[in-house]
């Protein structure tokens, strides 16, 4: 390699290091867009909008337009919004929605706005600063940041609990839309279904709405189900999945086992096994199945979520197909298959026999 090639390679490396160093700026710009409800303003406006028009609709008596212009410049660069060329040839810049900003709408049925707000909240950002310390000495990043695990923190902090539940509810709608449309026969033969770690019941409500013959049991910690809304066909039950799980024809868990280490998962799975019949009992998981090469539309998100588990949970992690098969076998489920969805997650169907 010649000196020119070496110089260019070093320069590329420096550029990439700078970009990685300030990658958080993308998240903060995205969070700001959600907090300012910029997508909502554009959507309600109904047509491309000028900067002064956008500023006038922000919830503020004196919005700073130069600051907004700088924020919009970055959001446009990242493809979150787009610049619209006026047909009359005017000089004033007009902004419009893109396929990304549609996911930022607060009142849309399918929205990532609550998830963006909670993941970029100071409470969930703080543990990320302890990853290297965990590598050096072990321990749990969230506990190092806050003095307790995330579930205890949520039970003691109603504001965080509400933010977290809203985020889980919004992702439940997204995942369940894909699940119901791509797992059409999966719930036909089930008369009763318990959603373990079901939060406020959003995911289960989508299943029961599509399969009204199912008796739904939404099972979660008492402080979680205490905020759950009344929903026809669903019974809310408070308890601890490490102690026992309500009996049903099938157990459903969405995005639960990735919160825990292997030992805890095996205990949960054994309780799931006890909750369902030996014959025809079924476990349905919705989880990320990590692809090391990231060769799909979601790219490296499996690995990113694995670091989210590192930062936020007590030993949780994302798992490969081989790791899932081994874990389920240890938990008493000897027959399993993975069903791909057009989503970040896959369906893992498991049977005791």
Report the distance separating Cα 198 and Cα 218, nearest Å.
Answer: 6
Q: H or E stretch including 216?
A: strand 215-220
For residue 184, report the phi and psi dihedrals to the nearest 5 degrees: -60, -35
Q: Is 19 helix (H, G, I), strand (E, B) or coil?
A: helix
Q: Which of 146, 236, 258, 312 is catalytic?
A: 258
The encoded tokens of residue 88 equal 């009359």
Q: Is 258 a catalytic residue?
A: yes
Instruction: Give the position of tokens 């970055």.
Output: 74
Distances (CA, A) of 62 to 56, 57, 66, 163, 177: 9, 11, 12, 28, 40
Q: Are the beta carbons of 325 and 163 closer than 8 angstroms?
A: no
Query: Could you tell me the two tokens for 334?
Result: 């000897």
End-to-end CA gap in the chain: 59
CB atoms within 10 A of CB 273: 19
Do you know the residue count of the chain?
353
Place of tokens 């420096």: 14
**Could you list the active site residues?**
258
């Amino acid at each position: 390699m010649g000196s020119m090639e070496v110089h260019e390679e070093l320069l590329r490396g420096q550029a990439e290091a700078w970009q990685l160093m300030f990658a958080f700026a993308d998240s903060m710009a995205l969070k700001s867009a959600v907090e300012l409800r910029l997508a909502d303003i554009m959507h309600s406006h109904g047509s491309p909008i000028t900067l002064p028009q956008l500023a006038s609709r922000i919830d503020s008596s004196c919005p700073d337009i130069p600051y907004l212009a700088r924020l919009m410049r970055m959001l446009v660069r990242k493809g979150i919004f787009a610049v619209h060329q006026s047909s009359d040839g005017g000089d004033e810049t007009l902004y419009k929605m893109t396929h990304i900003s549609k996911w930022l709408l607060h009142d849309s049925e399918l929205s990532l706005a609550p998830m963006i707000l909670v993941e970029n909240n100071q409470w969930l950002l703080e543990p990320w600063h302890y990853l290297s310390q965990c590598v050096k000495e072990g321990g749990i990043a969230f506990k190092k940041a806050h003095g307790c695990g995330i579930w205890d923190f949520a039970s003691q902090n109603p504001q965080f609990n509400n933010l977290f539940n809203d985020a889980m509810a919004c992702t439940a709608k997204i995942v369940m839309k894909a699940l119901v449309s791509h797992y059409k026969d999966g719930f036909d033969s089930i008369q009763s279904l318990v959603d373990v770690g079901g939060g406020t019941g959003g995911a289960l409500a989508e299943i029961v709405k599509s399969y009204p013959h199912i008796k739904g049991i939404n099972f979660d910690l008492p402080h979680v189900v205490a905020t759950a809304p009344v929903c026809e066909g669903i019974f809310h039950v408070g308890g601890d999945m490490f102690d026992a799980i309500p009996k049903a024809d099938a157990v459903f868990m969405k995005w639960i086992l990735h919160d825990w280490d292997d030992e805890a998962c095996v205990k949960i799975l054994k309780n799931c096994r006890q909750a369902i019949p030996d014959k025809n009992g079924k476990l349905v998981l919705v989880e990320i199945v990590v692809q090391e090469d990231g060769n799909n539309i979601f790219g490296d998100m499996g690995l990113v979520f694995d670091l989210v588990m590192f930062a936020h949970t007590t030993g949780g992690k994302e798992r490969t197909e081989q790791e899932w098969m081994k874990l389920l076998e240890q938990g008493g489920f000897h027959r399993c298959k993975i069903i791909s969805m057009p989503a970040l997650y896959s369906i893992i169907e498991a049977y005791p026999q």
